[in-house]
Amino acid sequence: MPVEEQVCVLYAGVRGYLDKINASDIGVFEQEYLKHLRSKHQTLLATIRAEQELSERSDAEVAATLDEFIAQSGLARE
């Protein structure tokens, strides 16, 4: 897995986004979130790859992608 994708997935866990997902759905979350990033947020992934760190801007973008994805994924606990 490319580093920029690892950053986004780890961010979800470290920042508490996975707390919103049932443990049994974490694998599905990872697969679907990566598809979402690859299809809709290629620029963000390229920025993380180029910067080799999370700037304030890219940090905010990762958070926004997670909010967007979790809301539309149907994986969030109710």
Look up the CATH number of the domain holding residue 28.
1.20.150.20
Q: Residue 78: which pLDDT band, with cuts at 50, 70 and 90? A: low
Helix, strand or coil, per DSSP, at residue 76 = strand
What pLDDT was estimated at residue 76?
84
- Domain housing 69: 3-73
Per-residue pLDDT tens digits for 48-67: 999 999 999 999 999 999 99
pLDDT at 73 over 80: yes
Whether residue 78 lies inside any domain: the answer is no
pLDDT at 77 over 80: no
The pTM is what?
Answer: 0.90
> Which segments of the chain does DSSP mark as H helices, in order?
3-14, 26-40, 42-51, 56-73
Whether residue 63 lies inside any domain: the answer is yes
Q: How many domains does the chain have?
A: 1
